[in-house]
Structure 1
Amino acid sequence: MAEIPANSLRFHVQRLPGHGAGPAVVFLHGLVVDNLSSFYCTLAVPVARAGHEAVLYDLRGHGRTERPRTGYDPGTAVRDLAALLAALRLDGHPVHLIGNSYGGTLALHAALARPDLVAGLVLIEPPLGGDWVANMIDTLSVAALGLEDGTLHSELTTLRRRKAARLAATADALLNRTSLIDDIAASRPFTPEDYGRLETPVLAVFGEHSELLPGARELARHAPHATVRILPGLGHDVLQGGTEALRHAVLERLGAVAAV
């Protein structure tokens, strides 16, 4: 565990060394109550055991990374990633990016803005469709209103549900005391032209019952090197609900890209 300065912030980072010589694998987690820990046992440890260096970090404002008031737009997230790779001396060779939920969206932004940094993408249930911004803003705004008066945190603390209370406090801080909602609201949706200029191989994994499947089909239709994998019986819970199948797909993809 380490704190790494990058792009004027201190990021909480964990590195798991691999024994191979291939590209490092960098994990990007989802929004608000998520952090690097969701990847640790599910994918990062198996990836490292397969020989790849695994790099996990808490996104800006999440987990143990510093929480500035502003800078939660995709462009800044890409600059955070680029600066962090430079600080870790991983910017000399492209890395694989594995992103879950909104982390997958950020990974795709990174591949479009900085293709020189990206060897391949694994996107797990990323929100990609044109209406995802509006839907996410509605969800986050409702959550923000529910947390604003602080009573939920107090009630959970009284009930000694300390972990849930910490998550509620983190969500309140992000949603009500930073520009996160406004920054996401200002995000531009991906277009077919964006997908068409993707230079990196993409594996996108979705649950069979996911409401995000229309975006997956659009990606598959326009991205020249994209493969979409549908896991049966799952919704937007692929990382936790379909860990074994996902792990197999990820390790298979990392091996296939390395062999090209």
Structure 2
Amino acid sequence: MSDLGGPVHWVDFGGPRADEGVPVVMVHGLGGSHLNWVALGPALAGRHHAYAIDLAGFGLTSGTNRSTTVQANAELVARFVREVVGRPVVLIGNSMGGMVSLLVTAAHPDLVEGLVLIDPSIPIPIPRQRPDFRIAAQFALYATPFVGERYMTVMSKRVSDRQRVQSVVDLCFADPARADPAVVDAGVELAAHRRQTPGQEAAFLGAARSLMKVLTAPGRYQSLIRGIDTPVLLVHGELDRLVPVAAARAIAASNPRWETEFLPGVGHTPQLEAHEAVHARTARWLAEHHLSDPIATTPLATTRHDSSPRTTDSPTARP
């Protein structure tokens, strides 16, 4: 844990010395946690010091008494880079974490040497691609005041922790059989822990509603994205039900400097479903952009808080 305006949980996967390669910070999606990176983190730690942060309201970071919007979590990630890592980083963001990473890069370009977007939350080009009806209906529930709160309360009572985790796997994997049983079990344990955490439903809804608000103003969001001149790698599963591949192809076409990798037969969380392919492409891109080389930048001038490597006592925090 670190004190960044409140306790923030993060995992240090280790890696070389801070001056031997640009550090990487991995940012999970809506409803996710550090567990989303337990396959990719150790692989990247061979050449880069690798961290995974639990955003406010998710994983083992409480959302109580703090905002859980994507904007607030972007500022949290920026503060983590300054005060914990202490050097500019490569941000790797999945889903909502991709949106958060884009917001960080746009607002704090000095903190970001490179950006890897894995199935990021981006506008869907309707009518060329209609969203999955069930997913659209679920997010409509989240967006509706009082209805969203009631829905979350009812589902919390009716669905077990294992059922909740399995439903996420079924949604995010093209082939749920590819899910690592040990990671699923750790997710169930984390869900049981979070069930005892006050305000988790409100934290989730706050994040979900802020994400949807950004997506409903696509012109402003796309303008922000086009203004980013940091090197970008986009990796996207072709069978993603949450962010259709048509959306990824459209945003790649409008940002021709980006490099892209589309993964056939893979869903919304390639870093879990096809982590070897994601690592291979990411590692090659990092090397091509000399982000695996010794760091020439100086440490960020900042006051740091409790920046020693941390996990928690919970087994779910161990990669």
TM range (shorter): 0.7 to 0.9
Amino acid at match of 1:234: V
SS in 2 for 1:249: helix
- Contact 1:127–1:215 (8 Å) recurs in 2: no
- Contact 2:14–2:42 (8 Å) recurs in 1: no
Task: Name the CA shift for 1:100/1:69 in 2 (closer, same or farther; >3 Å).
Answer: same
2:301 is aligned to: none
SS in 1 for 2:120: coil
Q: TM-score, normalised by structure 2?
A: 0.68
Q: Determine if the alignment matches structure 1 residue 239 to structure 2 residue 271.
A: yes
Gaps of 5+ in 1: none
Task: Provide the C-alpha distance between the structure 2 equivalents of 1:195 and 1:87, rounded to a whole number of angstroms.
Answer: 26
Task: Provide the C-alpha distance between the structure 2 equivalents of 1:106 and 1:215, rounded to a whole number of angstroms.
Answer: 18
- Contact 1:207–1:238 (8 Å) recurs in 2: yes
Task: Name the CA shift for 1:68/1:239 in 2 (closer, same or farther; >3 Å).
Answer: same
Q: Which has the higher contact order (CA 8 A, sep 6+)?
A: 2
Q: Determine if the alignment matches structure 1 residue 111 to structure 2 residue 105.
A: yes
Q: Determine if the alignment matches structure 1 residue 175 to structure 2 residue 201.
A: yes
1:94 is aligned to: 88
Q: Determine if the alignment matches structure 1 residue 138 to structure 2 residue 140.
A: yes
- Return the match for 2:37 from 36, 39, 42: 39
Task: Name the CA shift for 1:237/1:80 in 2 (closer, same or farther; >3 Å).
Answer: closer
- Return the match for 1:125 from 119, 131, 144: 119
Task: Provide the C-alpha distance between the structure 2 equivalents of 1:117 and 1:75, rounded to a whole number of angstroms.
Answer: 16
Among the aligned pairs, what percent are the same residue?
A: 25
- Contact 2:117–2:235 (8 Å) recurs in 1: yes
Gaps of 5+ in 2: 126-130, 163-184, 294-319
2:27 is aligned to: 28
- Contact 1:5–1:87 (8 Å) recurs in 2: no
Amino acid at match of 2:29: G
1:81-103 Cα deviation digits (max 9, x unpaired): 1211222152xx32100111111
Q: TM-score, normalised by structure 1?
A: 0.81
2:229 is aligned to: 199
Task: Name the CA shift for 1:172/1:226 in 2 (closer, same or farther; >3 Å).
Answer: farther
Task: Name the CA shift for 1:171/1:256 in 2 (closer, same or farther; >3 Å).
Answer: farther
SS in 2 for 1:22: coil
Task: Provide the C-alpha distance between the structure 1 equivalents of 2:3 and 2:95, rounded to a whole number of angstroms.
Answer: 25
- Contact 1:26–1:97 (8 Å) recurs in 2: yes
2:177 is aligned to: none
1:149-177 Cα deviation digits (max 9, x unpaired): 34226x669xxx96386277379943346
Amino acid at match of 2:210: D
SS in 2 for 1:119: strand
Amino acid at match of 2:45: A
Task: Provide the C-alpha distance between the structure 2 equivalents of 1:258 and 1:151, rounded to a whole number of angstroms.
Answer: 50
2:73 is aligned to: 77
C-alpha displacement of 1:58: 0.7
What do you get for the CA RMSD once the two structures are aligned?
Answer: 3.1
C-alpha displacement of 1:15: 1.6
Task: Provide the C-alpha distance between the structure 2 equivalents of 1:170 and 1:122, rounded to a whole number of angstroms.
Answer: 34
The aligned length equals 247
Task: Name the CA shift for 1:194/1:4 in 2 (closer, same or farther; >3 Å).
Answer: same
Task: Provide the C-alpha distance between the structure 1 equivalents of 2:118 and 2:89, rounded to a whole number of angstroms.
Answer: 17
1:93-141 Cα deviation digits (max 9, x unpaired): 3210011111111111111111111111111111201578x94732645
- Contact 1:28–1:100 (8 Å) recurs in 2: yes
